Amino acid sequence: MKSLFITIWAIILITNFANAQLKIVFQLTTNDTLVHKAVIRQFNNILKEDSTVKLAVICHGPGIEMLMKEKTIVKISIQELSKKGVEFIACENTMTEKKIEKSQLIEGLKYVKAGIIEVAKRQSEGWSYIKAGF
């Protein structure tokens, strides 16, 4: 009876793991536009392979420039990926430090008080972590 219970429990765990949705959070802390283009390329490649993957990028420090209307070179790609459910998230602490207003950022973003806390929170919720950069 005990071995039957263990077998059933193992099957349930394996089934749940196989059916779990993959979630990936990227941390972006650089204003390097080559990295910004690489992140966009990675998102498109991931979604081409599996359109059910949940993706988010949290931009803080110099990485906030990827989300700024006047500085980004990937605005159209951000807008297209946002329509597919990719989350682009700006750190309000960075915005305060750099005196950036929401009006200076691309429309449709999400905001969090502290970017690094959001990264850690998502990891605790089972999101895989990727540090964006070369």
Question: What would the DSSP string read from start to end of 32-49?
Answer: -HHHHHHHHHHHHHHHHH
Look at residues 1, 39, 6, 13 and name the one whose alpha carbon lies nearest to residue 133: 39
Residue whose structure tokens are 């500085």: 71
The predicted pLDDT at position 18 comes to 57
Give yes or no for residue 50 having a pLDDT over 90: yes
Give yes or no for residue 97 having a pLDDT over 70: yes
The predicted pLDDT at position 110 comes to 97
- Rounded to whole angstroms, the Cα distance separating 104 from 59 reads 14
Highest mean pLDDT among 2-6, 71-75, 130-134: 71-75
Q: What is the pLDDT of residues 2-36, one digit of tens each?
A: 554 444 444 444 444 556 789 999 999 999 999 99
- Rounded to whole angstroms, the Cα distance separating 46 from 3 reads 40
Locate the domains of the chain by residue range: 21-131
The predicted pLDDT at position 19 comes to 60
The predicted pLDDT at position 133 comes to 80
Asked: is 21-131 a CATH 3.40.1260.10 domain? The reply is: yes
